């Protein structure tokens, strides 16, 4: 077990020294920071372009994988303690071999794809048993939602500098757009073919997670999530996500939305009306680049622990008890969802785990961070005058509202590490066997507490 040593005399900077820099993850237990090691896999996603005569074979493989997965899930759900033999992956694999002989549609499909679906199901159950607080029980795979299958025996070949081909069982060679270096593709051990809701095929090549080369900066930062500025740092930097759609694309989307509203649910025409695919891609691209830059530039990151799922709930109620400002709340929900706050926090956690230099990411209770004054500690709803201006009603301290909230978040995150009473952060670097508890109730910082 290695330990971090924090220099308590520092106030504006965080001095971190690790005994062993080979560790790539950290976890906080009380006031002790522990290092953990992670060995995760990552995927290199490439756009797949199947021919029209190959597409039915790919859809058949998706159907087979989903059918076998759901069949194995149903068998496990029907198991009871009175049954003498337990259900395991090898037993289900043997039963699948017998079912292929009796059921012609299964026999016509790929055996490796169907066997891999049972392995996925077994892994989902093992993850749930090992850490039920983090993993949910396996659920049914649905058509048009979970369209995917695995390729275990991977064969690929390069046609030119922009195009490659991958061998799909029962379908043959399928072209894909090559956007990464070929040695990275060749180093992959398996692949996953998926069909998204926009009708686009992708192939993801699985390989060991590359380490994120970092050099220690000993710099802390607090992050405030917003709408006008997607992320505001305690250093006074506003990181704004660009508009996800051009004026022409936004006009086309509104036209398609009106068209989709007139179409009958579950109809073929409605299923062919696709929206927001490019916007989602651009949002993820910005998130990936921004989180990588933050993990490279800072050794300590404090971020808001926002309940995004609760924040985007609809304000519509019942006819007897109608909600207030429903349309206004609907617009706010759309703005929050377009900023992808949950994805941003998740990617920070993932990249922290694969960093060569220890990086600590802590989620802080966001309560009153926008109302507290970092100078005098006064906390009241009258302090934030608007979304952009903060003015303390007691001492007159004025600052940008986002920057002020980010500094309060940083102070709350550093509090437990300095040994200061206050709101403890939720460490994202934790073992797979445990799940963090909810943040402690807020306690106002004493006047003697160090300010960040």
Q: What is the arithmetic mean of pLDDT over 46-62?
A: 94
264 or 163, greater pLDDT: 163
Distance, CA of 432 to CA of 353 (rounded, Å): 12
Per-residue pLDDT at 432 exceeds 60: no
Task: Give the pLDDT confidence of 327-342 residue by residue, as tens digits.
Answer: 888 888 888 888 888 8
pLDDT at 149 over 80: yes
- Of 156-160, 334-338, 437-441, the poorest mean pLDDT is in 437-441
**DSSP states of 276-287 as a string?**
SHHHHHHHHHHH
pLDDT value of residue 194: 94
Neighbour order of strands in the sheet with 156-158: 148-151, 190-195, 201-208, 41-49, 172-177, 163-168, 156-158
Distance CA 88, CA 349 (A): 33
pLDDT recorded at residue 27: 35
When pLDDT is averaged across residues 419-431 and rounded to a whole number, the result is 43
Query: Averaged over 178-198, what is the pLDDT?
Result: 89
pLDDT at residue 434 above 50?
no
- Is the CB of residue 116 less than 8 Å from the CB of residue 149? yes
State what percent of residues in the chain have pLDDT above 70: 79
- Asked whether 327 and 247 are in contact (CB, 8 A), the reply is no
- Domain ranges for the chain: 4-39+215-427, 42-208
- Choose from 114-118, 208-212, 300-304, 446-450 the range with maximum mean pLDDT: 114-118
**Longest CA span, the chain:** 81
Rounded average pLDDT over 133-149: 88
Q: What percent of the chain has pLDDT over 90?
A: 26
Q: For 279-317, how does the pLDDT look when each residue is reduced to its tens digit (9 = 90+)?
A: 888 898 999 999 988 988 888 899 988 888 888 888 777
- Helix pair angle (55-77, 89-102), 10° resolution: 120
Distance, in Å, from the CA atom of 54 to the CA atom of 415, rounded to the nearest integer, reads: 58
For residue 330, the model assigns a pLDDT of 84
pLDDT, residue 204, reads: 93
The whole-number average pLDDT for the span 132-137 is 82
3-class SS of residue 164: strand
């Amino acid at each position: 077990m290695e330990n971090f040593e924090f220099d308590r005399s520092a106030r504006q900077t965080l001095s971190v020294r690790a005994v062993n820099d080979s560790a790539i993850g950290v976890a906080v237990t009380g006031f002790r920071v522990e290092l953990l090691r992670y060995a995760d896999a990552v995927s290199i996603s490439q756009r797949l372009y199947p021919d029209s005569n190959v597409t039915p074979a790919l859809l058949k493989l998706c159907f087979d994988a989903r059918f076998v997965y759901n069949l194995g899930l149903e068998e496990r759900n029907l198991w009871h303690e009175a049954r003498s033999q337990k259900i395991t992956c090898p037993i289900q694999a043997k039963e699948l071999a017998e079912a292929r002989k009796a059921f012609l549609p299964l026999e016509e499909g790929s055996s490796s794809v169907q066997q891999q679906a049972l392995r996925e199901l077994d892994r989902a159950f093992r993850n749930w048993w090992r850490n039920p607080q983090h993993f949910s029980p396996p659920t049914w795979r649905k058509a048009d939602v979970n369209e995917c299958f695995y390729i275990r025996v991977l064969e690929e070949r390069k046609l030119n500098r922009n195009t490659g081909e991958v061998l799909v069982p029962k379908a043959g060679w399928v072209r894909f757009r090559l956007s990464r270096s070929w040695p990275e593709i060749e180093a992959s051990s398996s692949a996953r073919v998926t069909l998204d809701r926009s009708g686009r095929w992708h192939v993801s090549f699985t390989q060991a997670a590359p380490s994120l080369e970092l050099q220690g900066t000993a710099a802390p930062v607090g992050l405030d999530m917003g709408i006008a500025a997607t992320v505001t740092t305690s250093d006074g930097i506003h990181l704004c996500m660009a508009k996800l759609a051009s004026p022409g694309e936004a006009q086309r989307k509104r036209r398609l939305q009106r068209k989709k509203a007139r179409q009958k649910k579950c109809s073929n025409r409605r299923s062919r009306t696709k929206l927001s695919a490019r916007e989602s891609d651009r949002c993820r691209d910005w998130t990936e680049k921004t989180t990588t830059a933050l993990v490279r530039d800072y050794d300590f990151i404090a971020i808001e622990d926002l309940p995004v799922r609760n924040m985007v709930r609809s304000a519509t109620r019942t006819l007897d008890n109608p909600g207030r400002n429903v349309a206004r709340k609907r617009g706010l929900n759309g703005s929050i969802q377009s900023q992808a706050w949950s994805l941003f926090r998740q990617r920070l956690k993932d990249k922290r785990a694969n960093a060569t230099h220890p990086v600590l990411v802590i989620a802080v209770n966001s309560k009153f961070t926008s109302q507290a004054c970092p100078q005098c500690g006064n906390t009241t709803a009258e302090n934030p005058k608007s979304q952009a201006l903060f003015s303390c009603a007691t001492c007159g301290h004025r600052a940008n509202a986002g920057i002020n909230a980010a500094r309060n978040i940083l102070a709350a995150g550093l509090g437990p590490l300095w040994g200061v009473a206050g709101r403890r952060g939720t460490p994202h670097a934790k073992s797979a066997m445990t799940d963090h508890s909810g943040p402690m109730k807020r306690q106002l910082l004493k006047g003697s507490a160090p300010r960040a």
